[in-house]
């Protein structure tokens, strides 16, 4: 035991042996022992189990859990940012390999992190079960009888009275019961206890932690998360094939998808027009219509950044937005071979964007041969002359689309999955004019003629697109319930005092009754002596003091006593 | 009046309020500085007294120690006889040391300066509070959209917690100097490094869960901070007492300084209470954050660096509470855990905002 033990009453500390059973069981915390096991497998198993469920090991595991969580916050994680992980691997190949081996790119699903929290929760369960039984036993039993020497308890008071001991004890029993103590008469003293809710709170808190963890694990196994980019006017129905990308927990099946569909009518973004934060987004909102099931009625709603649309168990979030110029491509004869809005990916906060236009079929070159076309598009929603490479404001102020074309084979038929935002130029040749590669800035409505009668490309107008994330996180209700229960349990466990009071009344040699009262709290608190004082005061009225005898009473207060006021901080 | 003119007018008012707020914050800093000097003066005058109560208590022969019995509550005046007295006994193994008298060391002039310091602190607090409110009014939202606002709100709340404890008649005046020193540091960093002109929030920060989450986070931080200051002083006082008890002779400065603080056991208990009292609130803060994350990003928990460090802080404080309940970990070891836990909180605020990028990138620096 260390030198300063402010709450020394949970296991009777050395020097307090005489409290015996009175001081025990004030908490159901397991006792910490480090006894070496007796030989044999069972001996070791039992020793191991006892260690695992001890407070010391719980503490160590908690420490390990917090230490183990640190690397995941400093090293890029594949779960949150795949590209950063890839960058890191490229820049530090050796370190990357090492991290890979240690699972440091996915700390929170790594073997070692799981091992820590699984051990912790085994420990927790192994801790809760015996404590619950022990507590039930305490509730069934009665508060332990008074220790022999009440003077040794943390709070103590005594007086002499002419009232008969039986009467005093009866009055004390009635008083304590009225104050909602569990009290009973044991020998020459009344034993009482209060504050059992502390233990209830503590058990509830630890059980709530288990509920929380199971709910979290359940959510991880059955969750789904998919993204869909939709251009204004476009729609989506909730099937696997419609998603641009889709992630799910290992036990999720496609049947779990909620049947719904929705259309994006309009996207609106507003931005700060002036001041130091010029260009910072103010509002984003998507006007959508949605319907549930195959033939559901369609309803109108607005999805904002913090206000997802909830359909069934799914939530639809607005997560990103950008521009989609409407492009028309014509061949040499003037036939339209491509007409679509092309979503471009934002590169910066002012939505400078880039992307590609792929004309896969239908196009023939001036000689009539089948060919594919590709265009690199670079878009500035607000173009300011002099600043050719980036937009100066996120809204559509002065849109300019920069295009450069290629012809040949896009490589899309090779079967290798290709990004819709990049061109594979291995089999493509640039369109050239006199000065090299042809590259032009277009404004809405303008057309760029391709050289040698190869056709033309027109920038018609600009639409906006929004990205929607559809998620389903089963078990989140349980997680929330667990969390709320944990808070209440915790509050009960930390704010409720569990304490015992004993009142002894015996006749002294001179025929006068000596009343002794003592209080014991689970932790040394100013409340225990205060409460004892109040109880003593009330009891004193019913058993008023008798004049002091000439000589000192035998029960001099303990010399280690300190003033009560010191504790009242 | 055209719409544009109306917006211009509103913008002008806001700018005016923002300037007012800046002036108030600077004034508060000036008054805090005066309070700082008053606290220093209190400590200086206090050093004149030669008390040494701790030494007396620790070196005295136990038999000679008086047993001061104290009446917790006196009954009505009609009682002829004295009411029973409640005697409180220190737990076994605990040093029986009286609390120091506070920074003034019982010196009357010192006490006067201490009172002046507290009055100045109250004044500075009111000015700073007005500054925070003006700032909030100028941006038409709660004042914690960036690190500058977070810092000024944080120090206001920390001083508020200190003054509330004083108002509740808790023995905390000795903390004044340490608290005001760090408040000045906090404000200094705020107005120099972190300053951001007042502006509105990015859409992701528009949610009433934000109000709940951030306001409780600030309150928790302020209370954890008070707990951490006490814990550090506990460690000093505890080694001082150990040294005395072992028959050592601590240095003169240490003696003068530490004699005036409460006993180590009192400091320990106070920091435990403070930390334990906010721990449920901190739990709630994290849950409120998770609910907000659920609304904003489609998942309530995603191991974002900020979330991870909130979790680490939470687990570290849970460690501390467990340590307090485990024999062999009480006292100094538990105190170290409490400091580590507060370190995690600090890192979550400064470290994560500045060094680590995540979804919570609203630092504005
Ligand atoms: C996920 C892991 C755990 C967390 C976050 C946690 C958290 C806490 C907290 C915050 C308290 C303080 C409440 C109070 O003092 O009454 C506490 C108390 C307690 N915990 Fe845990 N705990 C965990 C695991 C465990 C395990 C594995 C055990 C069993 C070995 C355990 C046994 C106890 C006991 C006995 C108390 C009460 C201490 C007392 O009576 O003062 N806990 N726990």
* Structure confidence by residue, pLDDT tens digits, B64-75: 443 333 333 333
Low-confidence ranges of chain A (pLDDT < 50): 1-18, 551-569
* pLDDT the model gives residue A21: 63
CA angle A47, A48, A50 (to 5 degrees): 65
Please report the atom of ligand 1 found closest to the CA of residue B324.
41
Is the CB of residue A19 less than 8 Å from the CB of residue A148? no
* pLDDT the model gives residue B68: 37
User: Contact B92/A13, CB-based, under 8 Å?
Assistant: yes
Distance from CA of A562 to the nearest CA of B (A): 6
User: Is A83 near chain B, with CB under 8 Å?
Assistant: no
* pLDDT the model gives residue B5: 44
* pLDDT the model gives residue B190: 87
Q: Where are the alpha helices (DSSP H) in A223-313?
A: none
* pLDDT the model gives residue A530: 85
Answer yes or no: is pLDDT of B119 > 80: yes
Number of CB pairs, chain A paired with chain B, less than 8 A apart: 290
Identify the residue whose C-alpha is closest to ligand 1 atom 37.
Answer: A29
CA of A132 to the centre of ligand 1 (A): 13
Please report the atom of ligand 1 found closest to the CA of residue A27.
40
User: Is B243 near chain A, with CB under 8 Å?
Assistant: no
* pLDDT the model gives residue A275: 65
Question: Given pLDDT bands bounded at 50, 70 and 90, which one contains residue B196?
Answer: confident
What's the rounded mean pLDDT across residues B89-110? 69
Is the CB of residue A524 less than 8 Å from the CB of residue A8? yes
* pLDDT the model gives residue B279: 95
Average pLDDT, chain B: 79
Answer yes or no: is pLDDT of B35 > 90: yes
DSSP state, A544? P
What's the rounded mean pLDDT across residues B205-234? 87
- Residues of A (228-287) whose Cβ lies below 8 Å from B: 272, 275-277, 280-284
Please report the atom of ligand 1 found closest to the CA of residue B279.
10
Answer yes or no: is pLDDT of B50 > 80: no
- Residues of A (527-546) whose Cβ lies below 8 Å from B: 529-530, 532-534, 536-537, 540-541, 544-545
* pLDDT the model gives residue A209: 93
Residue A513 CB coordination number (10 Å) = 21
Residues of chain A positioned with their CB less than 8 A from the CB of B83? 536-537, 540, 545
Identify the residue whose C-alpha is closest to ligand 1 atom 5.
Answer: B318
User: Is A505 near chain B, with CB under 8 Å?
Assistant: no
Is the CB of residue A373 less than 8 Å from the CB of residue A406? yes
Residue of B nearest to A548 (CA): B81
User: Contact B81/A544, CB-based, under 8 Å?
Assistant: yes
Distance from CA of A136 to the nearest CA of B (A): 21
Please report the atom of ligand 1 found closest to the CA of residue B325.
41
Which of B314, B325, B329 best tests ligand 1's pocket when mutated (most atoms within 8 Å of CB)? Answer: B325
Task: Give this prediction's pTM.
Answer: 0.80
Question: Given pLDDT bands bounded at 50, 70 and 90, which one contains residue B77?
Answer: very low
């Amino acid at each position: 035991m260390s030198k300063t033990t402010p709450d020394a009453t949970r296991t009777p500390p050395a020097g307090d042996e005489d409290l015996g059973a009175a001081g025990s069981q004030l908490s159901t915390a397991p006792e910490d022992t480090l006894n070496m096991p007796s030989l044999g497998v069972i001996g070791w198993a039992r020793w191991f189990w006892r260690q695992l469920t001890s407070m010391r090991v719980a503490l160590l595991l908690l420490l390990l859990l917090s230490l183990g969580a640190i690397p995941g916050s400093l090293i890029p994680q594949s779960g949150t940012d795949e590209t950063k992980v890839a960058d890191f691997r490229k820049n530090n190949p050796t370190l990357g390999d090492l991290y890979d081996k240690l699972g440091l790119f996915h700390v929170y699903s790594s073997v070692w992190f799981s091992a820590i929290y699984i051990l912790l929760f085994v420990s927790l369960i192994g801790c809760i079960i015996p404590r619950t039984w022990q507590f039930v036993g305490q509730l069934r039993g009665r508060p332990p009888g008074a220790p022999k020497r009440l003077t040794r308890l943390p709070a103590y008071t005594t007086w002499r009275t002419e009232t008969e001991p039986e009467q005093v004890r009866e009055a004390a029993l009635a008083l304590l019961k009225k104050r909602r103590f569990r009290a009973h008469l044991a020998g020459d003293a009344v034993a009482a206890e209060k504050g059992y809710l502390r233990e209830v709170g503590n058990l509830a808190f630890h059980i709530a932690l288990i509920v929380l963890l199971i709910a979290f694990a359940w959510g991880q196994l059955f969750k789904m998360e998919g993204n869909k980019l939709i251009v204004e006017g476009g729609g989506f129905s909730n099937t696997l094939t419609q998603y641009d990308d889709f992630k799910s927990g290992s036990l999720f099946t496609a049947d779990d998808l909620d049947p719904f569909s929705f259309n994006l009518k309009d996207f609106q973004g507003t931005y700060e027009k002036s001041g130091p934060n010029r260009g910072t987004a103010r509002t984003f909102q998507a006007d959508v219509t949605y319907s549930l099931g195959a033939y559901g009625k369609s309803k109108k709603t607005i999805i904002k950044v913090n206000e997802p649309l909830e359909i069934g168990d799914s939530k639809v979030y607005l997560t990103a937005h950008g521009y989609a110029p409407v492009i028309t491509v014509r061949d040499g004869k003037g036939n339209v071979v491509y007409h679509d809005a092309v979503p471009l990916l934002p590169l910066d906060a002012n939505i400078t964007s880039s992307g590609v236009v792929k004309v896969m079929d239908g196009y023939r070159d001036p000689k009539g041969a089948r060919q594919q076309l590709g265009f690199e598009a670079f878009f500035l929603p607000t173009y300011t002359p002099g600043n050719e490479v980036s937009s100066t404001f996120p809204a559509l102020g002065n849109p300019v689309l920069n295009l450069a074309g290629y012809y040949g084979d896009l490589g899309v038929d090779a079967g290798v999955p290709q990004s819709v935002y990049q061109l594979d130029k291995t089999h493509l040749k640039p369109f050239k004019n006199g000065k090299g590669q042809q590259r032009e800035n277009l404004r809405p409505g303008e057309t760029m003629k391709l050289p040698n009668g190869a056709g033309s490309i027109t920038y018609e107008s600009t639409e906006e697109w929004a990205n929607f994330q559809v998620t389903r996180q089963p078990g989140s209700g349980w997680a929330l319930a667990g969390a709320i229960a944990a808070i209440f349990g915790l509050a009960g466990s930390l704010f409720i005092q569990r304490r015992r009071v004993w009142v002894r009344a015996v006749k002294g040699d001179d025929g006068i009754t000596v009343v002794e009262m003592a209080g014991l709290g689970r932790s040394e608190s100013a409340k225990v002596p205060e409460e004892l004082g109040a109880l003593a005061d009330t009891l004193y009225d019913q058993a008023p003091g008798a004049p002091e005898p000439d000589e000192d009473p035998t029960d001099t207060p303990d010399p280690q006593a300190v003033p009560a006021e010191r504790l009242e901080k | 009046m055209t719409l544009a003119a109306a917006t211009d007018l509103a913008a002008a008012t806001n700018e005016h309020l923002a300037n007012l707020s800046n002036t108030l914050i600077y004034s508060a800093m000036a008054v805090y500085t005066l309070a700082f000097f008053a606290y220093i003066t209190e400590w200086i005058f206090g050093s004149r007294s030669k008390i040494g109560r701790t030494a007396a208590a620790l070196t005295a022969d136990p038999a000679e120690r008086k047993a001061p019995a104290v009446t917790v509550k006196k009954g009505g005046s009609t009682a002829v006889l004295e009411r029973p007295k409640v005697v409180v006994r220190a737990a076994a193994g605990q040093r029986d040391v009286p609390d120091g008298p506070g920074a003034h060391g019982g010196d009357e002039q010192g006490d006067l300066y201490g009172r002046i310091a507290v009055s100045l602190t109250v004044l500075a607090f009111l000015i700073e509070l007005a500054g925070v409110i003006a700032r909030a009014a100028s941006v038409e939202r709660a004042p914690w959209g960036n690190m500058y606002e977070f810092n000024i709100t944080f120090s206001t709340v920390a001083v508020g917690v200190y003054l509330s404890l004083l108002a509740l008649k808790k023995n905390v005046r000795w903390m004044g100097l340490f608290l005001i020193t760090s408040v000045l540091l906090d404000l200094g960093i705020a107005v120099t490094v972190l300053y951001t002109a007042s502006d509105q929030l990015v859409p992701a920060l528009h949610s009433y869960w934000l109000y709940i989450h951030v306001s409780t986070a600030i309150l928790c931080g302020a209370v954890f901070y008070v707990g951490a200051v006490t814990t550090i002083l506990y460690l000093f006082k505890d080694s001082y007492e150990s040294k005395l008890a072992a028959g050592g002779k601590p240095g003169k400065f240490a003696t003068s300084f530490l004699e005036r603080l409460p006993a180590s056991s009192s400091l320990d208990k106070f920091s435990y209470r403070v930390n334990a009292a906010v721990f449920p609130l901190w739990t709630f803060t994290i849950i409120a954050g998770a609910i907000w994350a659920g609304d904003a990003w489609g998942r309530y928990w995603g191991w974002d660096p900020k979330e991870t460090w909130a979790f680490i802080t939470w687990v570290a404080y849970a460690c501390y509470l467990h340590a307090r309940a485990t024999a062999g970990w009480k006292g100094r070891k538990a105190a170290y855990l409490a400091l580590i836990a507060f370190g995690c909180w600090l890192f979550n605020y400064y470290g994560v905002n500045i060094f680590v990028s995540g979804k919570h990138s609203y630092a504005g620096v």
